[in-house]
């Protein structure tokens, strides 16, 4: 949760506005059923009449009422009544109830208690005087409103006009509320989308940026498959909950609590139905999610596993087919796919139980409200509009619990994803720069002298060193080559120079400065690195060659292609440098991929070149031609070559022979033939006696 809140901070103002809009929208939605109740009870049932006491009476109605009580009225001209209720005859003098009358010549009067008036109206309608019953006050009020309507009609007022005015007035308020809520919903949707996508963007940026700082040690901890899942699926989960929190998660408690308050205010007699429904819904949520939530973390791990199997199967398809193991790989995929499907099925089944259960509770609640509400209406304890409003509030309460149900699904998954993302972001990289005040600089470009000073190296959690007491100097303008049996530590030694790993003991210096005292960016900017496995990126040949030097011109690209012996296939295609390169360079051969990788390093023109067994896929003729051109092109640069073939390195100024992580020979080709048995054994296994000399 801390991670989600951290990434909310840049959007705190927009989030505050969004929450305010959400609160306003929910308040508007809560008031709509109340106005609907007024529409039914006043606009339809009472014909638009809101007053129980008429503002004016005809002489006939006055005389009739005076039979049942001493109710004083004041005779005045009814301009005000004519203005409010159309079709009144303004030429006549009408009787007006004193509470609506203006004081004329200091003359005023008062009516008796409103309930007494209502009782009198009821008596007029029933043809007899009746005692006012407190429990029947609602019915009396409605009958009084009906009498008021009839009294106005006898004075020439239009019943339809009065009713239309009331309905249009209440409907206009409801329309304004609806339009306002719709506008707020759109605005809130815009803000929540902007906030959530911004959070997702920042998370992906930071996670990817962190991964770029990882050394091989961190990649050993996090597989490529899980890093892809964390950068995509996990970020998506956090982004989704960020968006929904500003739409549903915060809306649910507002709607639920507000709905309960409004329902209780509408009818206290039916309030126990709400209490029972809420308790039933809470019990259902607790039962379902106590079983579902533990499965979410398992699902993310299973997703990692499925991605891993899929990635391995697709990238290794040729090997799989060559060994006829399609069935085995299919079984691996089926198992991984089945595991995640089984867990998903459990979650979906649990959720599928929740949905109809909530609908059943909703149906039972609605039926109970209708049955008890109808009885209350028949007993004049509740009006039809109030019952309809109460039902609407009950629906809102239940819908809020449905939203809470979705919240319980999304938040735990998002928290699991946030934890996985935090694991990546909080990982301390093994290779990191020292504080800026302690860093030294090479002033942009190094001279190129590399020295290994009694270097030893041990992998993390390993029991012994893979390199021990490595000591040599690689001078600028010279080629230093490394050879040895498989597993002797050649590539590990080379990987210490760009600080893919840091030495366990000893030091590696560049121009006399420990490379650990140089920023990683400056150090690597002085290196042209060609790995064992040529790696190309999707795009075209030009974009790949200019990867290390974006401002390289076409002449520089052509020179690098010429030296790398790649002209024959680059310019054989009509598109030349614009020839498309597929993902991973899958549309070029291994040898072509190696030559393009070499050309990419050459375009950079660094002071130090590192070729980690980068000529293995080349034929002997191409290898020889490339080495001749390379010696001329690199000039004063330091060249480090790891090779398996003696013919590739026999002209190097310095050859270092490794065996089991130790230097067992150092010198030129001729010197090593005489002094190093391991080198002589390798050379004799590859070259004839004539070629050895």
User: 363-382 pLDDT, tens per residue?
Assistant: 888 888 888 888 887 777 77
Residue 501 contacts residue 661 (beta carbons within 8 Å)? no
Q: Is 60 exceeded by the pLDDT of residue 407?
A: yes
Say which residues have a Cβ less than 8 Å from residue 583's Cβ, sequence separation at least 6: 537, 538
Read off the pLDDT of each residue in 4-10 and give the average, rounded to a whole number. 81
- Rounded CA separation 491/477 (Å): 22
Domain range list for the chain: 2-39+167-425, 437-526+606-618+642-693, 534-605
CATH superfamily of 534-605: P-loop containing nucleotide triphosphate hydrolases (3.40.50.300)
Read off the pLDDT of each residue in 8-27 and give the average, rounded to a whole number. 88
- pLDDT tens for each residue of 263-280: 888 777 787 888 888 888
pLDDT above 90 coverage of the chain, percent = 8
| β strands within 84-216, DSSP E | 93-96
Residue 75 pLDDT grade (very low, low, confident, very high; cuts 50, 70, 90):
very low
- pLDDT tens for each residue of 226-239: 888 888 888 888 88
Q: What's the Cα-to-Cα distance from 346 to each of 54, 326, 343, 405, rounded to whole Å?
A: 66, 30, 5, 16
- Per the model's pLDDT, the better-predicted residue between 127 and 264 turns out to be 264
Q: What's the Cα-to-Cα distance from 352 to each of 222, 290, 346, 391, 401, rounded to whole Å?
A: 35, 15, 10, 25, 15
Residue 100 pLDDT grade (very low, low, confident, very high; cuts 50, 70, 90):
very low
Residue 102 contacts residue 76 (beta carbons within 8 Å)? yes
- pLDDT tens for each residue of 592-641: 888 888 888 888 888 999 988 888 777 788 888 888 888 888 888 899 99
- Rounded CA separation 432/425 (Å): 14
pLDDT above 70 coverage of the chain, percent = 85
Q: What's the Cα-to-Cα distance from 393 to each of 271, 277, 343, 588, 661, rounded to whole Å?
A: 11, 12, 37, 67, 77
pTM of the predicted model as reported, rounded to 2 decimal places: 0.68
Q: Is 70 exceeded by the pLDDT of residue 42?
A: yes
Q: Is 90 exceeded by the pLDDT of residue 451?
A: yes
Asked if domains 437-526+606-618+642-693 and 534-605 share a fold, the reply is yes
What's the CATH number of domain 437-526+606-618+642-693, 3.40.50.720, 2.30.30.240, 3.40.50.300, 1.20.120.1200?
3.40.50.300
Q: Is 90 exceeded by the pLDDT of residue 176?
A: yes
Range with lowest mean pLDDT among 58-62, 257-261, 477-481, 652-656: 58-62
The SS3 of residue 102 is coil
Domain covering 2-39+167-425 in this structure, CATH number: 1.20.1560.10
Q: Which pLDDT value is given to residue 183? A: 92
Whats the size of the chain, residue-wise? 693
Q: Is 60 exceeded by the pLDDT of residue 304?
A: yes
Read off the pLDDT of each residue in 480-485 and give the average, rounded to a whole number. 89
- pLDDT tens for each residue of 50-71: 766 666 666 666 666 665 544 4
Q: Is 60 exceeded by the pLDDT of residue 90?
A: no
| β strands within 153-233, DSSP E | none
Query: Among candidates 605, 597, 641, which has minimal Cα distance to 478?
Result: 641
- Rounded CA separation 507/457 (Å): 10
Q: Which pLDDT value is given to residue 237? A: 84
| Whole-number average pLDDT of the chain | 79
Read off the pLDDT of each residue in 669-678 and give the average, rounded to a whole number. 88
Q: Is 50 exceeded by the pLDDT of residue 422?
A: yes
- pLDDT tens for each residue of 425-448: 888 887 888 888 888 888 878 888
Residue 72 contacts residue 111 (beta carbons within 8 Å)? yes
Question: What value does the CA radius of gyration of the chain take, rounded to a whole number of Å?
Answer: 43
Q: What's the Cα-to-Cα distance from 438 to each of 117, 344, 431, 514, 518, rounded to whole Å?
A: 95, 52, 16, 12, 9
Q: Is 60 exceeded by the pLDDT of residue 126?
A: no
- Rounded CA separation 44/159 (Å): 11
Q: Is the dihedral of CA 391, 392, 394, 395 positive or negative?
A: positive
Q: Which pLDDT value is given to residue 693? A: 63
Q: Which pLDDT value is given to residue 318? A: 74
Query: What are the tokens at 400?
Result: 């809020």
Residue 518 contacts residue 441 (beta carbons within 8 Å)? yes
- Rounded CA separation 256/64 (Å): 51
Query: What are the tokens at 422?
Result: 């935090």
Q: Which pLDDT value is given to residue 173? A: 92
Q: Which pLDDT value is given to residue 654? A: 92
- Per the model's pLDDT, the better-predicted residue between 689 and 453 turns out to be 453
Give the Cβ contact number of residue 632 at 10 Å. Answer: 8
Query: What are the tokens at 53?
Result: 């006491």
Residue 130 pLDDT grade (very low, low, confident, very high; cuts 50, 70, 90):
very low
Q: Is 80 exceeded by the pLDDT of residue 195?
A: yes
Residue 124 pLDDT grade (very low, low, confident, very high; cuts 50, 70, 90):
very low
Q: Which pLDDT value is given to residue 480? A: 92
Q: Is 70 exceeded by the pLDDT of residue 89?
A: no
- Per the model's pLDDT, the better-predicted residue between 340 and 616 turns out to be 340
């Amino acid at each position: 949760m801390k991670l989600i809140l951290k990434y909310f901070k840049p959007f705190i103002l927009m989030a505050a506005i969004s929450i305010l809009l959400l609160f306003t929208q929910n308040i508007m939605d809560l008031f709509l059923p109340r106005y609907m109740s007024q529409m039914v009870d006043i606009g339809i049932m009472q014909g638009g009449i809101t007053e129980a006491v008429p503002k004016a009476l005809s002489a006939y109605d006055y005389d009739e009422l005076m039979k049942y009580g001493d109710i004083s009225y004041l005779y005045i001209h009814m301009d005000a009544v004519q203005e409010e209720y159309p079709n009144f005859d303004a030429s006549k003098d009408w009787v007006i109830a004193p509470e609506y009358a203006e004081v004329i010549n200091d003359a005023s009067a008062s009516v008796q208690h409103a309930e007494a008036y209502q009782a009198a109206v009821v008596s007029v309608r029933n043809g007899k005087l009746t005692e006012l019953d407190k429990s029947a006050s609602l019915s009396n009020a409605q009958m009084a409103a009906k009498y008021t309507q009839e009294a106005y009609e006898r004075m020439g007022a239009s019943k339809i006009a009065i009713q239309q005015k009331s309905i249009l007035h209440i409907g206009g308020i409801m329309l304004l509320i609806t339009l306002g809520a719709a506008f707020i919903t759109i605005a809130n949707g815009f803000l929540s989308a902007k906030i959530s996508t911004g959070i997702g963007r920042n998370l992906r940026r930071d996670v990817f940026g962190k991964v770029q700082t990882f050394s091989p040690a961190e990649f050993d901890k996090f597989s490529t498959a899980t890093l892809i899942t964390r950068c995509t699926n996990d970020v998506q989960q956090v982004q989704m909950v960020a968006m929904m929190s500003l739409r549903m998660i915060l809306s649910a408690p507002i709607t639920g609590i507000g709905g309960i308050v409004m329902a209780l205010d509408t009818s206290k007699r039916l309030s126990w139905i709400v209490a029972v429904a809420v308790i039933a819904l809470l019990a259902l949520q607790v039962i379902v999610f106590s079983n579902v939530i533990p499965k979410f973390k398992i699902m993310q791990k299973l997703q990692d596993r499925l991605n891993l199997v899929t990635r391995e199967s697709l990238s290794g398809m040729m090997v799989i087919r060559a060994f006829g193991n399609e069935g085995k790989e299919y079984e691996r995929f089926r198992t991984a796919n089945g595991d995640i499907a089984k867990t998903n099925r459990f979650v979906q089944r649990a959720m599928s139980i929740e949905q109809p259960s909530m609908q059943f509770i909703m149906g039972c609640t609605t039926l109970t409200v209708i049955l008890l509400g109808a009885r209350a209406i028949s007993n004049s304890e509740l009006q039809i509009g109030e019952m309809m409003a109460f039902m609407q509030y009950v629906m809102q309460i239940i819908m809020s619990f449905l939203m809470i149900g979705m919240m319980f699904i999304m938040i735990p998954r998002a928290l699991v994803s946030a934890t996985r993302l935090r694991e990546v972001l909080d990982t301390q990289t093994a290779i990191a720069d020292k504080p800026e005040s302690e860093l030294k600089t090479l002033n942009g470009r190094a001279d190129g002298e590399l020295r290994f000073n009694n270097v030893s190296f041990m992998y993390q959690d390993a029991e012994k060193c893979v390199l021990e007491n490595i000591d040599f100097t690689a001078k600028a303008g010279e080629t230093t080559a490394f050879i040895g049996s498989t597993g002797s530590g050649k590539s590990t030694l080379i990987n210490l120079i760009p600080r893919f790993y840091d030495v366990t003991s000893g030091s590696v210096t560049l121009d006399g400065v420990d490379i650990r005292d140089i920023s990683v960016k400056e150090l690597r900017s002085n290196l042209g690195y060609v790995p064992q496995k040529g790696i190309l990126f999707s795009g075209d040949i030009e974009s790949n060659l200019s990867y290390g030097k974006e401002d390289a011109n076409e002449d520089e690209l052509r020179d690098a292609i010429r030296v790398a012996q790649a002209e024959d296939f680059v310019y054989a295609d009509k598109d030349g440098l614009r020839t498309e390169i597929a993902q991973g360079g899958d549309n070029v051969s291994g040898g072509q991929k190696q030559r393009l990788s070499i050309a990419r390093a050459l375009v950079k023109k660094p002071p130090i070149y590192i070729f980690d067994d980068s000529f293995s896929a080349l034929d002997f003729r191409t290898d020889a031609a490339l080495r001749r051109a390379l010696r001329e092109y690199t000039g004063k640069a330091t060249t480090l070559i790891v090779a398996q073939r003696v013919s590739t390195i026999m002209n190097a100024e310095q050859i270092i022979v490794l065996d089991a992580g130790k230097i067992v020979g150092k010198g030129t080709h001729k010197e090593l033939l005489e002094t190093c048995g391991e080198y002589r054994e390798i050379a004799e296994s590859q070259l004839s006696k004539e070629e050895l000399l």
